[in-house]
Amino acid sequence: MSVSPLRLGIAGLGTVGGGVVRLISEQSDLLQARCGRPVQVAAISALDQNKDRGLDLSAFDWHDDPVVMAGSDAIDVFVELIGGEGGPAKASVEAAIAAGKNVVTANKALIAHHGTALAIEAEGRGGSLNFEAAVAGGIPIVKAIREGLAGNNFSRVYGILNGTCNYILSAMRDSGRDFADVLNEAQALGYAEADPAFDVDGVDAAHKLAILTSLAFGCPVNLEAVHIEGIRQVSAIDIDFATELGYRIKLLGIARLMDQGVEQRVHPCMVTEESAIASVSGVFNAVVVEGGYIDKVVFEGRGAGEGPTASAVMGDVIDVARGNRLPTFSISADGLRTIQSTTMDHHVGPYYVRLTVIDQPGVIADISAILRDRNISIGSMLQRGRDPGEPVPVVLITHECKEKALTKAMEQISALKAVAEEPKIIRIEAL
């Protein structure tokens, strides 16, 4: 008995879309065996029909308008690989959902901004919304949280969620060079976009973190609640001090469930050299999930690129082909419950503080007194070089303290005559 093929409509034929078309053509026998039915590209859409993509696309129905393709009876699954939080990506996904199609997307911006509303709509109409490729590329973290680890209460989910930032920080550490220099190199090598803001300012990682938070804690996706800092302010001297103190600096996305609510933050962190995440370097991503019955599970892999992202897209397509329909964010979308968000003022942790102070008697005593008055105790102190009357760096590692208290103390310390520059603060994350 012949079984009906699963027919895909693929919108976007760039890095990811091209990779998906290639994977399907190269792996068709394997896909058929694993799905129990053939998986076929039926229709495609992109901006320029005449562009040479190094692929034979002649057998597929071409659509200038992805919205029209999304509602076509000739497809079973709409695969959105255009990108962007609105525009044709959103319009076509909405059209596919309205037509009751299953949707697969790699679009983190779309899911981070509109994921909850789209999930409610998709589930209400009997379709599914799948976005494995939107978080950490080739790492099947959505599947892991939604399925393999679904028996756990999660306490914290965190990771290196942006390969460009991890590449830049790793290269800065290896070469001793500063951010701007390494960014230029990353752009020349194709690891960073011409406009790197989305990556280096932490926005891309925030999109992924907001999605992970919803999956792990069963709350609506809340991108606005994510505290976001990028890596532009990380300097070679801080990387150097971090190494001396036994730490690495990583841009982490961290979601933590606490008594006061859920904390979501993306910022540079100091992590100890022994932590699993410290050794994840270059363009690699890692995600760590902590839960009641698992202690922690660490996932590592390539977070971007044609092959890993196409692999993740196909994981979702295979689920649809097999008839696996799962609640979009681990629980049904209308069951997502708002959890109070905490602000960074309430954050408690140890901190790295680098001060630039004029080397003169009494200055360290003044700084210590301000910290003591705000209940901030110093775990260790490092002074590099002695140069009476000249500015020298002094590094303090605090014990756990409230961020609000530290911020206030830094305002006072900045006002001291002997403090030559704004203090530099990096949060230390106990992992």
Does 51 sit near ligand NAP (CB under 6 A)? yes
Distance between CA atoms of residues 17 and 111, nearest Å: 18
Phi/psi for 102 (5° steps) reads: -80, 140
User: Per CB under 6 A, does 301 bind ligand NAP?
Assistant: no
Q: Binding-site residue total for ligand NAP (CB under 6 A)?
A: 25
Render the burial of 48-58: b for 16+ CB within 10 Å, e for the rest: eeeeeeeeebe
Task: Report if residue 107 touches ligand NAP, rule: CB under 6 A.
Answer: yes
- Between vectors from CA 195 to CA 91 and to CA 282, what angle results, nearest 5°? 105
Closest among 383, 310, 323 to 353, alpha carbons compared:
383
Q: Quick one: which of 218, 295, 219, 288 has its CA closest to 252?
A: 288
Q: Is 117 in the site for ligand NAP (CB under 6 A)?
A: no
| CB closer to ligand NAP out of 88 and 253 | 88
**Least distance between ligand NAP and beta carbon 292 (Å):** 30
CB nearer ligand NAP, residue 218 or residue 305: 305
Q: Is 304 in the site for ligand NAP (CB under 6 A)?
A: yes
The tokens for 335 are 């069951």
Binding string to ligand NAP for residues 142 to 171, with x set by CB under 6 A, is what? ------------------------------
The 3 state secondary structure assigned to 187-203 is HHCCCCCCCCHHHHCCH
Q: Residue 288 pairs with which residues in a beta bridge? A: 158, 298
Q: Which is nearer to ligand NAP, 137 or 301 (CB)?
A: 137
140 binds ligand NAP (CB under 6 A): no
Residue found under tokens 């393709």: 69
Residue 330 Cβ vs ligand NAP, minimum distance, rounded to whole Å:
21
Q: Which is nearer to ligand NAP, 201 or 240 (CB)?
A: 201
State the nearest-atom distance from the C-beta of 49 to ligand NAP, in Å: 8
The 39-45 sheet, strands edge to edge? 61-63, 39-45, 6-11, 77-80, 102-105, 129-130
Which is nearer to ligand NAP, 121 or 193 (by Cβ)? 193
Q: Which residues contact 180 (CB under 8 A, 6 or more apart)?
A: none
Closer to ligand NAP by Cβ: residue 134 or 171: 134
Q: Catalytic amino acids?
A: 208
In the list 309, 328, 342, 398, the residue contacting ligand NAP (rule: CB under 6 A) is: 309
Q: Which letter does DSSP use for residue 247 in this model?
A: E
In terms of CB distance, is 42 or 339 closer to ligand NAP?
42
In angstroms, give the least distance from the CB of 58 to ligand NAP. 16
The Cα-based distances of 274 to 115, 133, 255, 278 in angstroms read 36, 29, 21, 7
- 315 is a site residue for ligand NAP (CB under 6 A): no
Question: Is residue 274 at the binding interface for ligand NAP, with CB under 6 A as the rule?
Answer: no
For residue 410, give both structure tokens.
Answer: 């830094």
Among 90, 101, 108, 347, binds ligand NAP (CB under 6 A): 108
Determine, following the binding rule CB under 6 A, whether residue 14 of this chain makes contact with ligand NAP. yes
Structure tokens at 311: 């692999």
Tokens 């990506």 belong to 89
Closer residue to ligand NAP in complex, CB, 16/410: 16
Are 344 and 265 in contact by the 8 Å Cβ rule? The answer is: yes
Backbone torsion region of residue 84, taken as left when φ is above 0, otherwise alpha when ψ lies between -120 and 50, otherwise beta: left
In this chain, which of 127, 137, 140, 159 binds ligand NAP, going by CB under 6 A?
A: 137
Residue 133 in the binding site for ligand NAP (CB under 6 A): yes
Taking CB under 6 A as the binding criterion, the range among 6-14, 321-329, 341-349, 404-412 that sits at the site for ligand NAP is 6-14
Specify burial of residue 26 (Cβ count, 10 A radius: 0-12, 13-18, 19+).
Answer: exposed
Does residue number 40 form part of the binding site for ligand NAP (CB under 6 A)?
Answer: no
Q: How far is Cα 293 from Cα 317, in angstroms, rounded to an integer? A: 30
The residues in 64-83 that bind ligand NAP, with binding defined as CB under 6 A, are: 66, 81-83
Helix (H), strand (E) at residue 98? helix 87-98
State the minimum distance, in angstroms, from the CB of residue 337 to ligand NAP: 28
Site string for ligand NAP, 232-251 (x = CB under 6 A): --------------------
List interacting residues with ligand NAP (CB under 6 A): 11-17, 45-48, 51, 66, 81-83, 88, 106-108, 133, 137, 304-305, 309
